[in-house]
Amino acid sequence: MSAIKVKLVVFLSVVFTILFLLQKPLIAMHIMEGFLQPRWAIAWGVACVPFLVVGFITLKKKVTISSKKLILFALSGAYAFVLSALKMPSVTGSCSHPTGMGLGAILFGPFLMSIIGVIVLLFQAILLAHGGLTTLGANTFSMGIIGPLFSFGIYKLFRKLKINISISVFIAALIGNLMTYVTTSLQLALAYPGEKFTQTFSKFLGIFAVTQVPLATIEGILTVVIFGILKKYSEAEFLDLKVI
């Protein structure tokens, strides 16, 4: 393992430890424990299954055949864990946060990120009271599936259009983050439609946009920086993964 990778692992480990020690119970942007009715909790869990199955099937092909790719995969998971654990106050007593899923989606595709997503969300629910076990399916679908699908798709489209790689990474991470919260707003509106579904959906979108748009922008910039560092020291793996 190169010196830069060692430093990244140490840095992320330290940040994780600090976050773990400082966390307080909050109503986080992950849908909290018990907030969804059983039918919706089950439905979103079932919707995740096909993506997780494909993710596990492709895991060996893309990752385990190379120790260096495994390190990149682990770093992608650590990056997602750290960023999605940063809870920022939003309006009405809720919170918003980055997702950190765009980096891994760009490197390994959306299906493998569904595995990282469910692992990250499970640990956060158990260790940090962030999200919940009954809402694990809904949170995985929004953060671990929809967000990475958009990040991956946008990155590939922009690269085909010969758009600058840094701009491609930035937009992919930003849109992936925003689509996660569009999906979460949809999930909440379906569970609690009020008098009119469209109005409720718009209300949830407006609530989270206040903090989520700037957070998505910050995540996009940070993802460009981390992507550049990893690309510099793992160019062979990037080429093999057809990222560049």
Higher pLDDT, 133 or 15: 133
| Cα radius of gyration (the chain) | 17
Does residue 29 belong to any structural domain of this protein?
Answer: no
Domain count, the chain: 1
Does residue 94 belong to any structural domain of this protein?
Answer: no
Of 113-117, 153-157, 182-186, 208-212, the poorest mean pLDDT is in 208-212
Q: Can you give the pLDDT at residue 90?
A: 53
241 Cβ neighbours under 8 A, 6+ residues apart: 62, 69, 107, 108
Identity of the amino acid at 201:
F
Does residue 157 belong to any structural domain of this protein?
Answer: yes
The residues with which 96 forms a beta bridge, in sequence order, are: 88
Q: E strands of the chain, at which residues?
A: 88-89, 95-96
Could you tell me the residue range of the domain that residue 107 belongs to? 40-85+99-240
pLDDT tens by residue, 17-59:
444 444 444 344 578 888 889 999 999 999 999 999 999 988 8
Identity of the amino acid at 63:
V
Is the pLDDT reported for residue 164 higher than 80? yes
pLDDT tens by residue, 204-221:
888 888 778 888 999 999
Is the pLDDT reported for residue 154 higher than 50? yes
Does residue 182 belong to any structural domain of this protein?
Answer: yes
Does residue 231 belong to any structural domain of this protein?
Answer: yes
Does residue 1 belong to any structural domain of this protein?
Answer: no
Q: What is the CATH number of the domain that holds 112?
A: 1.10.1760.20
Does residue 13 belong to any structural domain of this protein?
Answer: no
Q: In the numeric block, which tokens belong to residue 122?
A: 């499970």
99 Cβ neighbours under 8 A, 6+ residues apart: 80, 83, 84, 143, 147, 176, 177, 180, 219
Is the pLDDT reported for residue 143 higher than 70? yes
